[in-house]
């Protein structure tokens, strides 16, 4: 058997064992900037956090703030700020639950009905960009790997 050659890494390149997390973080930041730019080009002045909140409400309907926080994976202070801004823009309203007057629900307003289709169109464009050059099998495998990473993180107990 021959000796294994180990090539030196260029300065600033991380160990392959840590590259995945670095790339995921970089993809998240870069994708968020591109997505926000695509939304602005279509006349939507919302940031990705606002879009996540609206998307969950479009898909699942009104819900209490604590449930919304779980669905969008935002901290309470960030979510409160996002809700305040969306409310000021007329996109959502806070309403008391009919079933439990102590609960405050977040609901969409009629103002953003047309935004849902526009947002879906931009999301579809982002999906095409993400998976450009991937076969269907590659994309499915990649999604499965990401789901495993997420499950590992969520199951870590921290």
Task: Find the CATH number of the domain harbouring 94.
Answer: 1.10.10.10
Residue 6 is assigned to a structural domain of this protein: no
Residues 6+ apart with CB under 8 A from 24: 149
Instruction: Identify the domain containing residue 123 by its residue range.
Output: 23-131
Q: What is the DSSP letter of 103?
A: -
Task: For residue 12, tell me if it sits in a domain.
Answer: no
- φ, ψ at 11 (rounded to 5°): -55, 135
Residue 149 lies in a domain: no
pLDDT of the residue at 8: 53
46 in any annotated domain: yes
Taking the chain, what is the end-to-end CA distance rounded to the nearest angstrom? 44
Please indicate, yes or no, if residue 146 is contained in any of the structural domains. Answer: no
The residues with which 63 forms a beta bridge, in sequence order, are 106
How far, rounded to the nearest angstrom, does the alpha carbon of residue 155 sit from its chain's CA centroid? 20
Residue 3 has a pLDDT of 53
Report phi then psi at 14, rounded to 5.
-75, 160
Residues of the chain with pLDDT under 70: 1-17, 157-158
In a domain, 158, yes or no: no
Asked, for residue 124, whether it belongs to a domain, the answer is yes
Total domains in the fold of the chain? 1
Q: Examine residue 62 and state whether it is found in any structural domain, yes or no.
A: yes
Average pLDDT over the chain, rounded to an integer: 86
């Amino acid at each position: 058997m021959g000796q294994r050659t180990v090539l030196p890494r260029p300065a600033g390149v991380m160990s392959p064992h840590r590259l995945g997390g670095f790339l995921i973080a970089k993809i998240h930041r870069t994708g968020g900037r591109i997505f926000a730019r695509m939304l602005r080009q279509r006349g939507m002045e919302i940031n990705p956090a606002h879009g996540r909140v609206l998307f969950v409400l479009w898909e699942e309907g009104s819900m209490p703030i604590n449930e919304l926080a779980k669905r969008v994976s935002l901290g309470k202070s960030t979510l409160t700020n996002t809700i305040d801004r969306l409310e000021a823009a007329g996109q959502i309203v806070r309403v008391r639950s009919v079933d439990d007057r102590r609960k405050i629900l977040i609901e969409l307003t009629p103002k953003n009905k047309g935004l849902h289709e526009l947002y879906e169109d931009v999301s579809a464009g982002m999906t095409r960009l993400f998976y450009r050059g991937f076969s269907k099998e590659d994309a499915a495998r990649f999604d499965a790997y990401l789901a495993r990473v997420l499950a590992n993180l969520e199951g870590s107990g921290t």
